[in-house]
Each structure stands twice: as C-alpha cells, then as structure tokens.
Amino acid sequence: MTETQENWTQEVEKHDGITTIRSSGTTRGWNGIHYKLGMSSKNVGSKELSINVATIPPGGVAGAHIHVEFEVMLYIVQGRVRHEFGPGLKNVIENGAGDFIFIEPGIPHEVFNMSDTEPVVAFVARSSADEWDKIIPYDRNSES
C-alpha cells in the first residue's frame, strides 16, 4: 500500500482532546509484517507513543532489526513466535498467546511465526511516535 497523508488520517475522528480510530480494517506492510492502521504522530499527532496490531502471516519472518532509542511492548493475542536475539542472534525465546514481551532499545532481534498454517497477531506499543522511523536492519553475521 502506498502511504499518503490521506491513508494515515482517513479513519481518524478527533473530538476535543480524544481521538478515535474505529475498527480499522486498513493494513500496510513492513518487514514481513502486516499492520492495522494504528495511532502515531502521523495521524493523531502523538509526541511519544505509537500503537497498532501486527500480524505475521503463517511461516512469516520479521527480518532482523534493531529499535534505536525506543522501547517496545507486545502482547501476543494469537499464535506462537520465536525470537532470535542478541549479538549474532544466538539467544532464543519462544512466546505464545497471552504472553507479554518487552524489547529494550538496541537489542537485535528477528521474529519467526512458528506455524505454517496460523498467523501470529500481536498488540504492539512503542515509546516512539514515529513507529518505524528509528528501526535499522541487522546482519546476524556482523557479530559472529
């Protein structure tokens, strides 16, 4: 999907200090993940936060990356994921529906949907209003 200002704001309702996006069906992709239109500086003018719902398709991978100077908290609504993380992505942890996950700034990680038939759905909150502007790719072989 091509991102335009209209796409970011078309479903936003502003009401004197309360802003609502009602059951957004709009999705967009980034790094192997599909996102429902959430809230960020781009559409609600937030200064320090962004939120949305992420879906990793069956067998999908969110390629290795690093969040620069912002925290991420996730709640797995559906499915199971495997995080490979740390220098060289040598550490592994698995999480499933009902788990909360906190990712500190600067931690390299790659996320794998462990199912070939079911998507992973997660609620994602970031301490960055820019969503993806402070994310950089990571080469797992850079720290072998």
CATH code: domain of residue 55: 2.60.120.10
Kindly report the pTM of this predicted structure.
Answer: 0.85
How many domains does one find in the chain? Answer: 1
Contacts of 17 by beta carbon, 8 Å cutoff, 6+ apart? none
Residue 93 confidence class, pLDDT cut points 50, 70, 90: very high
Q: If you average pLDDT over residues 42-66, what whole number do you get?
A: 93
Report pLDDT for 117: 98
Domain, as residue range, for 111: 5-143
Mean pLDDT of the chain: 88
Q: What is residue 7's predicted lDDT score, i.e. its pLDDT?
A: 58
Closest among 72, 61, 78, 75 to 123, alpha carbons compared:
75
Give the pLDDT score at 112.
97
Task: Report pLDDT for 9.
Answer: 59
